[in-house]
Amino acid sequence: MLRRKLRLSLPAALATPLLLTGCFDDQRDAASDSPDAGERISVAMLQPPRSGLNPLSDDAFKLSRWSNAETLIRLDANNDPQPLLATEWEQLDDQTWRFLIRDGVIFHDSTELTADDVVNALNAATQAAPKPRILDGVNMTVEADGDNAVIVRTEKTDPLIPNRLSSPQLAILAAGAYGEDGRVNPIEAGTGPFVLKEINGTTSAKLDRFDDYWGEPATIAGIDADYVSDGTARAAALRTGTADVVEAIPVSQVALLDQALVHEVPMPRTNTLYLNTQSGPMADPGLRAAAREAIDRSAIVNTVYEGRADIAEGLLGPALAWASAYRSPIDNRTAPKAPGGTEITLATFTDRAELPEVAVLLEQQLTRAGFKVTQEVREYAHIESDALAGEFDAFILSRATVLDSGDPVAYMYSDFACEGSFNIAQLCDPAVDEALANAAQQPTGEARRQAIIAAETAILRTDAAIPMLHERVIQGESARVANAERDPRERMLITEKTAIDTDSES
């Protein structure tokens, strides 16, 4: 079918906001010193980049949230694909798609977008090690079809190719961004309304308005982004007016803020306890079942999240409104086995302020059930590799379930398939793989949704993952900000429409 163009310790916690105040104020002072600078916006980001803002990693979502790097496709509110750098597309056969490339698009390095650039960018993604999550289980080749179209072929039938090409990890950058060593440098390489000018390690980044943008020009002059992993410091930056937009305000800080500056949106993000199915005590299905029965979800929601979350009924939450209608009780579940003092290591990370608190409450609940629990809590950058290597018996993760494609099959495959690249539970179950393969082959619509819930059921039956709650976006915006995006998928934040109302500062 042809798709056509649609037009800390307490002293440290107290000190950090003061340091940030100086940082943000210095940025604003520097901007005001330039007579033609215009209004800039300051953003306090949740996490620093993990790979130098390499768009083939999770850092791609920062570039997307800054409207810097663009993809062939974008998703609408219903997760349906819409044109972006591709203006139309059609499926030629079960394994072949053709995408028409938008004319008149200029990269930030002043080169013009061509079909060859698209081929180069997508081939870099398919050859990356590791590949972007969105390509887990996908063997894809891309070739130019003239100057203004590309052909995408897959080894297997894949009805989600347009959705996959919306992933920020498949953004199209200028040819000069891609080095022979596999590294990607996003500075002055995107096509969006803001051009990345500076990468200051894990401290900050600076973007300016790109005046040759193919679409509607940006309203503001630029973006000053600081990485502020401490939730108390992010909230303080909003409260003191030193940041205009703040990601992921901790629930514990909401009551301290002007409620008019706090915006809450249900999101497809599930707080899940992953259990190691391959090694250690949790390889015993009976002990995994005991952990499942020990968890009091309502206590976690009401105590840690102060009621600002939804109790999980499955892996997929209320942000996917259709999911609950397809569920039925799970049968043939393993019976719990008495833990009898079994020692387990429970791990999580500090970057999301609620997770260490969840760990404390979970330790209490698991201890009451008969486990002996040792906690390990670090920054995410310092714990991810150990989690993926199966070093922990249990791991608490806040996981976006439709982040990449707008469809949960990619997340389920990545986290629970034998060959999944983010398989913290170390799960390899033939029934799960079969259910995931079936879901992946279904066309979008009713049949696919039924297959997705069947796969969810197969996963939950193993007790490899115990969903606890579904989170909500709690985003802070100063009174001077207009049109910041409140995106449940966390792909968009500052766009060409985002503006600063200077009258509100008086």
451: confidence class by pLDDT, cuts 50, 70, 90: very high
pLDDT tens per residue, range 4-24: 333 233 333 334 444 454 555
β 481-482/262-275 pair status: unpaired
16-25, 128-137, 172-181, 460-469: which has the minimum mean pLDDT?
A: 16-25
204: confidence class by pLDDT, cuts 50, 70, 90: very high
Q: What is the DSSP letter of 217?
A: P
pLDDT tens per residue, range 231-267: 999 999 999 999 999 999 988 899 999 999 999 888 8
For residues 159 and 246, what is the distance between their CA atoms, to the nearest angstrom? 36
| More confident of the two residues 427 and 51 | 427
- Residues with Cβ within 8 Å of residue 96, at least 6 apart in sequence: 151, 152, 153, 154
How many Cβ atoms are within 10 Å of 239's Cβ, its own excluded?
19
Task: Report residue 319: phi and psi, to 5°.
Answer: -65, -25
β 262-275/394-400 pair status: antiparallel
409: helix, strand or coil: helix
Percent of the chain with pLDDT over 70: 92
For residues 98 and 169, what is the distance between their CA atoms, to the nearest angstrom? 20
Do the Cβ atoms of 168 and 69 come closer than 8 Å?
Answer: yes
Do the Cβ atoms of 214 and 105 come closer than 8 Å?
Answer: yes
Element holding 336 (H helix, E strand)? none
β 86-93/245-246 pair status: unpaired
Query: What's the pLDDT score for residue 25?
Result: 54
pLDDT tens per residue, range 387-422: 999 999 999 999 989 867 788 998 999 999 999 999
Q: What structural domains does the chain harbor? A: 10-244+478-505 (3.40.190.10), 267-472 (3.10.105.10)
pLDDT at 286 over 80: yes
pLDDT tens per residue, range 292-328: 999 999 999 999 999 989 999 999 998 888 899 999 9
How big is the chain, counted in residues? 506
Residue type, 114: T
Query: What's the pLDDT score for residue 214?
Result: 98
Query: What's the pLDDT score for residue 251?
Result: 86
- Residues with Cβ within 8 Å of residue 273, at least 6 apart in sequence: 291, 295, 362, 394, 395, 396, 465, 466, 468
Beta-bridged to residue 378, according to DSSP, are 349
Closest listed residue to residue 251, CA positions, set 232, 227, 228: 232
β 140-144/149-154 pair status: antiparallel
pLDDT at 201 over 60: yes
Mean predicted lDDT score pLDDT of the chain: 90
For residues 168 and 415, what is the distance between their CA atoms, to the nearest angstrom? 19
Across the range 194-212, mean pLDDT stands at: 97
